[in-house]
């Protein structure tokens, strides 16, 4: 089971290592399934951390009256 208290960067590095290991054809099936499960657990941690950060990010906008207001960060979704 992946640890929830690891940083985003640590989790991402572990995912990258798992992908590298899975691309190696010499891994037994049981080990591949175990690595896949670990990778999925780590991806959930990364997603949760990204969602939490997204909620914290605010954009300061000039409200036209000499002040600023905050609104939630919105990113442009890529077109497929």
Is residue 41 a part of any domain in this protein? yes
CB 18 within 8 A of CB 35: yes
Average pLDDT for 40-63: 80
Q: Is a pLDDT exceeding 80 seen at residue 27?
A: yes
**Domain tally for the chain?**
1
Is residue 13 a part of any domain in this protein? yes
Q: Which of 38, 33, 48 is nearest to 17 (CA)?
A: 38
Find the angle CA(55)-CA(60)-CA(62) to the nearest 5 degrees.
150
pLDDT at 65: 67
Is residue 22 a part of any domain in this protein? yes
pTM beyond 0.75, yes or no:
no
Read off the pLDDT band of 62 (50, 70, 90): low
Is residue 25 a part of any domain in this protein? yes
Which structural domain, as residue segments, surrounds residue 21? 8-72
- Here the CATH number for the domain that contains residue 57 is 1.10.287
Better-scored residue on pLDDT, 68 or 54: 54
Phi, psi of 66 (to 5 degrees): 80, 5
């Amino acid at each position: 089971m992946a640890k929830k208290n690891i940083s985003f960067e640590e989790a991402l590095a572990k995912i990258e290592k798992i992908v590298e290991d899975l691309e190696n054809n010499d891994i037994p099936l049981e080990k591949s399934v175990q690595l896949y499960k670990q990778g999925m657990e780590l991806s959930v941690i990364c997603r949760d951390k990204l969602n939490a950060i997204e909620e914290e990010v605010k954009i300061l906008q000039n409200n036209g009256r000499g002040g600023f207001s905050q609104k939630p960060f919105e990113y442009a979704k890529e077109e497929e």
